[in-house]
Amino acid sequence: MNQDSVVIKKISDEIFMNGTAYSNLKYLCKQVGQRLSGSAGAALAVEQTARMLREAGADTVYLQPCMVPQWVRGAKEIGTASLNNGKSMPLNIVALGMSVGTPANGITAAVVEVKNFAELDAMGPDQVKGKIVFYNFRMDPRHINTFRAYGEAGVYRSQGPSRAAALGAIGVIVRTLSPVIDDHPHTGATRYDENQPKIPAVAISTSGAEELSKAIAAKMVKQVYLKTNCKQLEDVLSYNVVGELKGSEFPDEIITVGGHLDSWDLAEGAHDDGTGCVQSIEVLRSLKAIGGRPKRTVRAVMFMNEENGLRGGNKYAEIAKMEGKKFIMALESDAGGFTPRGFGFTANSLQKEKLLSWKPLFVPYGALEFNEGGGGADIGPLRGLGTALIGLNPDSQRYMDLHHATTDVFEAVSERELNLGTVVMTAMVYLVAQYGL
Ligand SMILES: [Zn+2]
């Protein structure tokens, strides 16, 4: 234990003195920019993170081909509410990812506001048919973990369009999933039910949602006009990027550490999930830099297409199943580059016992919460191989403010917070590489 705390301090010193995660993140955000699956940005990100992995000292760097969906936003969306006093109110909207676009002339219809699905169902087809449904569900600020509030509100983004279409609605406006009131609409994937008509769906900024709601309550809104230009193109070839440090004693026992390389198109995808990618590269670099070689193989993986398809995560697990190696642990960082609070574990009881025994080693770094449940979307498909899944849990207070919005930029990331997160990730990878799991 004492020996381990010395090694972990060495890892920490290396990362804080010579770390490259922050400069790599700057490159990814400023030189590459948005990285939506199938875009030129995503292709450049594949190339550049492969370079970063080589520079980090990976023994081998390779690409795993996978087909990805290609959804494109097109020209800026337009939304307007026409009011009874003859004026019109602009609506601050963005199309939801994977949404169909409106016809060329847009759609114009009366709008009905609901707070939740219960209110929608109570209205029934009589009040919904031919209209635009406005879901105004506010994220519950009472949840201390903002991911919980996000999960509750997220169903309106994912299922809202099809639930409204089932009652005859022709379009949907969803209140942005953010706990703060501001003018930045957040995108994110919606999921159509194949049995319902696909209707255009947009997110409105939280301040816009409040304003629209007030106007509706005052019976001021005559009609709403929406025009979006998004469409789904043919799937295209893309890649996961993998960098490997071969284990010195148990090379066939694989530890995966990763984040997702794709991002939404509205911003630089700094916290979501540029940070997870550059942290994973830094895990490899710092392990190599402190000398020696991990006993077990460490793979840093940049997963493609987490946001709108999970094709990369599924492909990685599909290939893993054929490799005939032991995928003992996978760690994902996809909750922002903020100060680490701890980890969430999805593992069997023996694995959990071992992981918990290491908790004291993380105390000096403030990663104190070792919680049941967790992992990450991209590593989830590995569960079928008995892999222990671990999610890095950073402080969640500010993440949802900028998640999937134009505000998720490099400047929103703190170098020290990013590095501290990398320290605890590397410490966890080091311990599993040393002792197995
Ligand atoms: Zn993400």
Summarised one tens digit per residue, pLDDT across range 102-160 is 999 999 999 999 999 999 999 999 999 999 999 999 999 999 999 999 999 999 999 99
Instruction: Give residue 126 CA to ligand 1 midpoint distance, Å.
Output: 39
Q: Which residues touch 323 (CB under 8 Å, ≥6 apart)?
A: 254
Tokens of 77: 């969306």
Active site residue 306: yes
225 DSSP β-pair partners: 80, 108
pLDDT attached to residue 1: 64
pLDDT attached to residue 26: 98
Selecting among 244, 253, 306, 332, the annotated active-site residue is 306
- How does 145-165 read in b/e, with b if 16+ C-beta sit within 10 Å? ebeebbeebbebbbbbbbbbb
Q: Which residues touch 358 (CB under 8 Å, ≥6 apart)?
A: 4, 428, 431
Instruction: Give residue 327 CA to ligand 1 midpoint distance, Å.
Output: 23
Instruction: Give residue 220 CA to ligand 1 midpoint distance, Å.
Output: 39
Instruction: With beta carbons less than 8 A apart as the criterion, state whether 364 and 430 touch.
Output: no
Looking at residue 327, its amino acid is F
Instruction: With beta carbons less than 8 A apart as the criterion, state whether 424 and 340 touch.
Output: yes
Give per-residue pLDDT as tens, 244-278: 999 999 999 999 999 999 999 999 999 999 999 99
Instruction: With beta carbons less than 8 A apart as the criterion, state whether 29 and 275 touch.
Output: no
Q: Is the confidence at residue 168, as pLDDT, over 80?
A: yes
Q: Can you spell out the DSSP letters for 182-213? A: SS-----B----TTS----EEEE-HHHHHHHH
Tokens of 198: 């696909």
